[in-house]
Amino acid sequence: MAVELQLSWEDLTTGTLQQRTVSVPVAFGRDEQAMRSAMNDQDGTLVVLAHKQVSRCHALIVQQDEGLELVDKSTNGTFLNGQHFLGTNRQIQDGDRFQIGPYKIALNTLGTLPPSVSIPITPDSTAVLPGIYHDSLTGLPNRNMFMSLLQTLWERLAVETSLMFAVVHIDIDRLQQVNDSLGYRVGDKLLAAIARRLRQRLSPGDTAVRLEGDEFALLLENITHQEGAIGLIEALQRDLAAAFTLENQEAFITVSVGITFSHLPVNQPEDWLRFARTATNRAKQLGRGRLEIFRPGMEDSGNRLRLETDLSRAIERGELSLRYQPIVSLTSGQIVGFEALVRWQHPEAGWIPSDQLIAIAEETGLIIPIGLWVLQTACQQLCRWQKQFPDLQPLTVSVNVSSKQFIQTDLVAQITQVLQETDLPGNHLKLELTESLLMESESAAIAMLSQLQELGVQILMDDFGTGYSNLARMRNLPTDVVKVDKSLIQSLDAQNLAFVRGIVALAHSLSKTVVVEGIETQEQLAQLREMDCAYGQGYLFSPPVDIAQVENLLSQSPHW
């Protein structure tokens, strides 16, 4: 039976535990009584830390023995309440702090000791697993941990109205250029080096996390006024502006930073991160390498703020759906595939325009989870149609990939997993990337696209003919299909017709299959067939339609 002992945080850090051998299992959870009950059969002393004293730790079990050693119980297979736990074992110096899962514990010891902490995962706990709460590349906490910490602070703020902290969003300017010029391996090393500089600058109790891609965030709790936080960020910008030496090469970066403070009212903890990201976007608009403080009205309108908040929950609420626009063989006139297009029906505002949906998703970073949802949903649906209409020729589905998705280092792994989970052959999936995106990140694109093609996935260069690409560079890109932009088709007068003929001839010279979008009239269809275009889509065949309408089309097996 554990004996409960009330201790202050000062007791823990000024000597109470310094003359003992301790094994420190940590219980996490919001219900303190439930944790006490769960640990009630453990020997030793239950140390309850007041919530206001340690925002990230609720309870400890302390076992008293003689000596000056912190015992590592993680190596002998000990479990708490039959649950697995994780352990850590490393040297620390007096005053050091170390981090466990989403919670931090500071120890003030009498010199260098080999510490260990056993972490039980109880039914009431937050799961503490490295893959869930830590970024493997940088070693920093990840978005999951950051949101857990914001949730805790949000709950504390309801009681401690004077609590002050800052939420900081950091975007690495032009990381893609480093990847293009020095390679993705060096780019990954740069991200790890940035993480080290962040850790070195922060004070004990502050938190640095990697959100995703080139985005980091900070949680600054050791502040008493805004000027102190701003001064720290300015110093951090100077730190990061110094040269990084990576594989005997120097790389230089700047960072755009947005910051918001806890005094601004929020409806949910996610709002703080959104405010900070909005300020970062403002900094980038003003020239990059800047620091901007979020202020009400910085976004287009209050409606925009609400839409961003609502979009973050749209997937789980079932508000997003896909529409499918048929892609037709211009040779046979039959449907051969579909382009999947995401739509959002807001419960109050109704259907949100697609360009507004994509813009919000891009600016907030929500394009990453939304893009993955689109990929999974489209592949699952195509598999259903293949089984439902076995007599039709194999269909394909085209999915758009944004610039933020494309720079994700695990994009190929995500696509591989989706194909495996849905049992969809790779050659039934097409990924659409814009011409400008592919040309801006040419070297990185070649490597990634080659990996995707090894899976059988086909690559479409979208908006072909609207950019100013170098022909030799385009020839080097491992793409399979080019999609001629609809803006070139809308008015096929004599001059435009000649231009489109040239664009199509260029695509054929590069051995690319041609898809033309925006076909609306029989005259356009006839002209494009004469040019030997392989595929087309547009309102002449069908607008983007829902699942039921697609199935009606497929059952009729139309020919154009």
Which string of DSSP letters, residue by residue, matches 85-100?
Answer: EEEEE--B-TT-EEEE
11 three-state secondary structure: helix
Which H/E stretch holds residue 535? strand 535-537
Task: Verify that 171 and 124 share a domain, yes or no.
Answer: no
Give the other-Cβ count within 10 Å of 442's Cβ.
15
Would you place residue 551 in the very low, low, confident or very high pLDDT band (cuts 50, 70, 90)?
very high
Number of domains in the chain: 3
We report the CATH number of the domain holding residue 534 as 3.20.20.450
Domain final residue pick, 128, 144, 170: 128
10-59 residue pLDDT tens: 433 333 333 332 333 333 333 444 444 444 444 333 333 333 233 333 33
Supply the pLDDT for residue 365: 87
414-451 residue pLDDT tens: 999 999 999 999 999 999 988 777 776 667 778 888 99
**Does the pLDDT value for residue 340 go beyond 90?**
yes
Task: Verify that 429 and 542 share a domain, yes or no.
Answer: yes
207-249 residue pLDDT tens: 999 998 899 999 998 888 888 899 999 999 999 989 999 988 8
Task: Verify that 93 and 235 share a domain, yes or no.
Answer: no
Mean pLDDT of all residues belonging to the chain = 75
Domain final residue pick, 67, 97, 128: 128
Length of the chain in terms of residues written: 560
- Report the pLDDT averaged over residues 151-161: 87
Would you place residue 95 in the very low, low, confident or very high pLDDT band (cuts 50, 70, 90)?
very low
Q: Name the percent of the chain lying above pLDDT 90.
A: 34
277-331 residue pLDDT tens: 988 988 887 777 889 999 877 755 456 667 888 898 898 889 999 999 999 999 9
Where does residue 187 fall: left (phi above 0), alpha (psi -120 to 50 degrees), or beta otherwise? alpha
303 falls within a domain? no
Range of the domain at 85: 3-128
Q: Can you say whether the dihedral through the CA atoms of 348, 349, 355, 359 is positive or negative?
A: negative
Would you place residue 191 in the very low, low, confident or very high pLDDT band (cuts 50, 70, 90)?
very high
Task: Verify that 230 and 245 share a domain, yes or no.
Answer: yes
Measured CA to CA, the distance from residue 184 to residue 412 in angstroms comes to 14
Task: Verify that 412 and 497 share a domain, yes or no.
Answer: yes
In the block, tokens 């769960």 appear at 38
187 falls within a domain? yes
